A and B are shown apart, each in its own frame.
Chain A
Amino acid sequence: MSGFPLVALVGNPNAGKSALFNALTGARQKLGNYPGVTVERKAGRLSLADGRPVELVDLPGTYSLSPGSPDEQVTRDVVLGRQAGEKLPDALVVVVDASNLDNHLRFALELIALGLPTVVALNMVDLATRDGLELDAAVLSRELGVPVIPTVAVRRRGLDHLRDALQQAMDGAGGMIRPSAPDRDFDALRLEARRVARAAIVRETPSRRLTSAVDRVLLHPVAGFLILLALLFVMFQAVFSWATAPADLLEGWVTALGEAVTATLPPGLVHDFLLQGVVGGVGAVIVFLPQILILFFFILMLEATGYMARAAFLMDALMARVGLSGRAFIPLLSSFACAVPGIMATRTIADPKDRLTTILIAPLMTCSARLPVYGLIIAAFIPARDVYEFGGGWGIGLQGLVLFALYVSGIVGAMLAAWALRLTVTRGQSGGFLMEMPKYQWPRPQDILIGLWQRAVIFLKRAGTIILATNIVLWVLASFPQAPEGRSQVEYSIAGRIASGIHVLVAPIGFNRDISLALLPTMAAREVAVSAIATVYAIDAGDDEDAVSQQLGDRLQGRWSLATALAFLAWFVFAPQCISTIAVTRRETNGWKWPLFMVGYLFVLAYAAAGLTYWTATAAGL
């Protein structure tokens, strides 16, 4: 929290609030969390007309001050000055969609009644004009008793007017205001909103039905479903094919950095630490940034265009069969990128049991952090066997097929888990599906870019903190105490001794010592499996020139059987990771009960899946 006056941006969902927020604050935004809840706090700096800075906070969109979900509760608590970690706003900017006045004015009236200095942003006036609606902002302002500024997020003028009006409203405010929830009856507000809207509408011609026409195709039971599947297919294809070039580039930089370390530092502990622990470990994860950004690009686009709500509509019938609602599809899709934002996105699900079930199965969606692990193992084991048995052409197909099978296993596992959970621990009436279908919109590039930028920063911070720290700890544990001549350094080290303990437990499902060692640090972040194995082998190779230069994949081939590799993949489909996921689950569910349950059931699933894979593969003679 800054010491500047606080202005809250409030409004209905789909009122164009986020685009307005981006336009007002630019890329100078800070993402955080409200204490005690996982609702994201988005704040930015805004300069008033005279240059005075204020902090603008973008509150979650809601339909009224009677919250239906946890994020809507934050909005209510902030504007009432009850939210922990947030002071009472000094002013409100209420965003209303010009083409949906009746509905949005009801909430605006509720907010104006709080008595805080308020400015109404009559947003998306361009779309309203397109739809044949002409409004008189002056009439609206007179009826509401607060300034009303027509805005279009991309146009400068309205934004400047908004700043002026905000400054005047804040300067004119006198004394302390203690807002309380207005006691006006819902229907009274609704009628008043309609009266005001009537007064403000100058001219109205029948609206164009572009959205409805597009929906006829996109919501068609058969065509719409096929389009959704095609979109998802393109999305996953893009994650792999578009990312290759930038990932190779990053990999080149990491290699160059490693060589620079070798060239400048004398051999010794510091050199080893930097090369094996830092560059090798973190670098193995950083190369993965392009894939994450591509995945988020698709998710941000689907959300910004308004298609995500259609996907939820199409999936609802299917999700209903396992006791979930179509709304759960959105967080589950986000979980393909990362379970943490996925679990946070469940806050829009109103029904507590629907929401809990969705949280519990979200980690089964193949998150992007599993990709480096899948990529390494598949590249090391699948084509090698192909080249021997089928010849070149087949290799690629089989690799892709294995990857696809891993994704499908996760999805099928999640659906079965949801079904089982709904019959047992989260038993009860299904929460139903009620959702606004926003108008289709062409997203503004800067909104998508800001979203991608924020994801990139989050990922790099993670690589620079959690992943780096884990790797350093692992390197130290694997390097000390120093092994006597002729003994494996890793086996002799502290890490090796811990791994021996774990190995007893996982030996039945085909896991070797290397994997046992990697299992613990992967709890910090899944990608660490790759960097951990890389670090461990680098330490073990020591001064053996040949072993050092050997590729990680080649080294795995020599040490792991195919059955072990497959069991390791199966484990990764189901295993509960990472700590961030467990932590976010704890915060979301307000206690340790559900995260512990989640960890428990996922461990059982992972152990069983890896075991079955290993025993089947061994029996088949692999």
Chain B
Amino acid sequence: MRLTDLPLRQPAYVDMIDWSALSPAEGQRLREFGMCEGASVEALHHGGLWGRGPIACKVGRMTIAMRRAHAAAIEVRTGEVRTGEQDVAA
């Protein structure tokens, strides 16, 4: 499922990121935020009065905000993080 569809406060991890849907700069910034395949992720808040606002989510120990267009490029799986690729799981 896409990060945009992930229910709030449901533990999940990143399955796949469609880097081609992001500009090189955006991709780099997301990586710097710790967003990578296998990272633990949790959607925290949806912004905007009409559901078109950004999404705030927790990646590892960091909370970041991104637009839906970015979140749609991130494929996630619910459940605990795969061992071996584990990020700091809170």
Contact = CB atoms under 8 A, between A and B. Distances in A.
Interface stretch (B12-20, B46-54, B74-82): B46-54
A434 to B, nearest CB: 5
Given A63-B32, A103-B33, A222-B49, A211 B63 contact: yes
Contact of A433 (B23, B30, B65): B65
A313 B65 contact: yes
Given A211-B63, A221-B53, A326-B54, A350 B25 contact: yes
B60 A316 contact: no
A613 to B, nearest CB: 33
Contacts of B63: 211-212, 215, 436-439
B90 A313 contact: no
Contact of B64 (A64, A206, A434): A434
Interface string A15-51: 0000000000000000000000000000000000000
A309 interface: yes
B56 A103 contact: no
Interface residues of A, number: 45
A215 B28 contact: no
A231 B12 CA distance: 35
Contacts of B62: 100, 103, 436
Interface in B23-46: 23, 25-26, 28-34, 36, 44-46
Contacts of B28: 64, 66, 68
Interface string A306-319: 00010011101100
B49 A194 contact: no
A216 B26 CA distance: 26
Nearest to A321: B52
Interface string A58-88: 0000011010100000000000000000000
Interface in A428-461: 432-439
Nearest to B64: A436
A219 B48 contact: no
A438 B63 CA distance: 7
Contacts of B53: 221, 313-314, 316-317
A508 B30 CA distance: 55
A317 B49 contact: yes
Contacts of B67: 316, 320, 432-434
Nearest to A316: B54
Given A186-B31, A215-B44, A432 B69 contact: yes
A438 B36 CA distance: 20
A212 B32 CA distance: 22
A598 B87 CA distance: 48
A55 interface: no
Contacts of A616: none
A167 interface: no
A343 interface: no
A101 B60 CA distance: 10
A434 B66 contact: yes
A197 interface: yes
A492 interface: no
A433 B66 contact: yes
17 contacts: A64-B28, A64-B32, A99-B61, A102-B87, A102-B88, A103-B32, A215-B56, A222-B49, A225-B49, A313-B53, A316-B53, A316-B67, A317-B49, A433-B66, A434-B64, A435-B66, A436-B65
Interface of A: 63-64, 66, 68, 99-103, 186-187, 190, 194, 197, 201, 204, 206-207, 211-212, 215-216, 219-222, 225, 309, 312-314, 316-317, 320, 326, 350-351, 432-439
Closest 10 CB pairs of A and B: A317-B48, A63-B32, A317-B53, A437-B63, A219-B45, A207-B90, A435-B65, A316-B54, A313-B65, A433-B67
Given A201-B88, A216-B45, A432-B66, 7 more contacts: A99-B61, A101-B88, A190-B36, A316-B53, A320-B67, A432-B69, A434-B65
